[in-house]
């Protein structure tokens, strides 16, 4: 069998409370007995989770935060997977990361970090995420 992996972006804070993006690669291992009698599947390490929910950013949400410099940390360590729409995330170090449907981000910029700014770039539709808090 071929090696399988998945890469996603992580938003994290350093000791100076600035936020940054990094790419994380996860190895997926073949599991023979995940859904017997179905064929084997590739699965990554499991993460304990507290809750899961859908979240929608209204059109242009966060657009006014950017010029005003209104940063916010993530409310909890969480994984956000974009289901519909398009958003741009800004880290306090000046880097950006655009998310399209199917993209996943591990958000770890907890207070007292400066945080991030998220902008829904859709002018006429919400952007919808599946969020899993860890």
Nearest by Cα to 6 from 45, 47, 32: 45
For the chain, domain boundaries: 8-24+47-133
54-70 pLDDT, tens digit per residue, is 999 999 999 999 999 99
Q: Which CATH superfamily is domain 8-24+47-133 in?
A: Jelly Rolls (2.60.120.10)
73-129 pLDDT, tens digit per residue, is 999 999 999 999 999 999 999 999 999 999 999 999 999 999 999 999 999 999 999
Whether pTM exceeds 0.75: yes
Instruction: Write the DSSP assignment of the chain as a string of letters.
Output: ---EEEEEEEEEE-TTS-EEEEEEEEEEEEETTSSTTSPPEEE------SEEEEEEEPTTTTTTHHHHT--B--SSSEEEEEEES-EEEEETTS-EEEE-TT-EEEEE--TTS--EEEEE--SSS-EEEEEEE-
């Amino acid at each position: 069998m071929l090696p399988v992996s998945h890469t996603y972006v992580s938003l994290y804070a350093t000791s100076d409370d600035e936020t940054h993006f990094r790419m994380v690669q996860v190895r997926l291992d073949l599991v023979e007995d995940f859904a017997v009698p179905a064929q084997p599947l590739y699965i990554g390490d499991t993460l304990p989770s507290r809750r899961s929910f859908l979240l929608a950013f209204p059109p242009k949400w966060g657009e006014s935060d950017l010029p005003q410099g209104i940063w916010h940390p993530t409310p909890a360590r969480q994984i956000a997977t974009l289901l519909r729409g398009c958003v741009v995330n800004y880290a306090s170090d000046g880097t950006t990361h655009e998310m399209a449907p199917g993209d996943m981000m591990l958000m770890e910029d907890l207070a007292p970090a400066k945080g991030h700014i998220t902008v829904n770039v859709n002018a006429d539709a919400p952007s919808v995420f599946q969020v899993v808090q860890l």
